[in-house]
Amino acid sequence: MDPQEMVAHAQERFAKIRRDPEKALFSEYKGVSPTGAVTVWVDMMGKLVRVHLAPNTMYEGGEPWLTTEIMAAHEAAKRAAETLDFSMADLVQELDNALQLKQRVTATPEPAAERTTTRRPDDDDESFENRSHLR
């Protein structure tokens, strides 16, 4: 990136900050690893705020892979913070995923055997109210 592009990039960033300084300052910017196993949030300066690991992500011997995933998610979050990306890409992805999920759910009808109603279990507190164990 040449110096003029860097200056233009910085001016664009400062213009976004001036438009909504509170949003820029107090937002957390999200980055997701390539496999989606790790999600990282950073502040406006790129400082790590929190990390989320998907269930069943950690396993013995998987430390190098997990480290790579965390670093990739952190880099993605820092890029989002640099461009002040207020999760618009994530919103679009979530909407696309919701449409795919809706199509999948409506395409597969529920089998009749699984439609049975189940009786709600009695409230556990009722049995204690009716009996006294300290007689």
Please report where in the chains the tokens 């199509």 appear, as a residue: 103
Question: What is the per-residue pLDDT for 74?
Answer: 95
Question: Rounded CA gap, 7 and 21, in Å?
Answer: 20
In whole angstroms, what is the distance from residue 99 CA to residue 107 CA?
Answer: 12
Rounded to two decimals, the pTM is 0.54
Residue-level pLDDT at 114 = 53
d(CA 51, CA 84): 19
pLDDT, tens digit only, all 135 positions of the chain? 788 887 887 788 778 778 877 777 778 889 999 999 999 999 888 899 999 999 988 888 999 999 999 999 999 999 888 877 655 444 444 555 566 666 666 676 555 555 555 555 555 555 555 555 554
For residue 76, count other CB atoms closer than 10 A to its CB: 22
HSE-CB at 80 with a 13 A cutoff on CA atoms is 25
The CATH architecture annotation of domain 27-110 reads: 2-Layer Sandwich (3.30)
In the DSSP assignment, the letter for residue 123 is P
Structure tokens at 134: 């300290």
Q: Output the pLDDT for position 89.
A: 41
pLDDT at 24: 72
The residue ranges of every structural domain in the chain are: 27-110
Predicted pLDDT at 23: 75
Predicted local confidence at residue 25, as pLDDT: 74
**Per-residue H/E/C for 80-122:** HHHCCCCCHHHHHHHHHHHHHHHHHHHHCCCCHHHHCCCCCCC
Q: Which two tokens stand for residue 18?
A: 């001036």
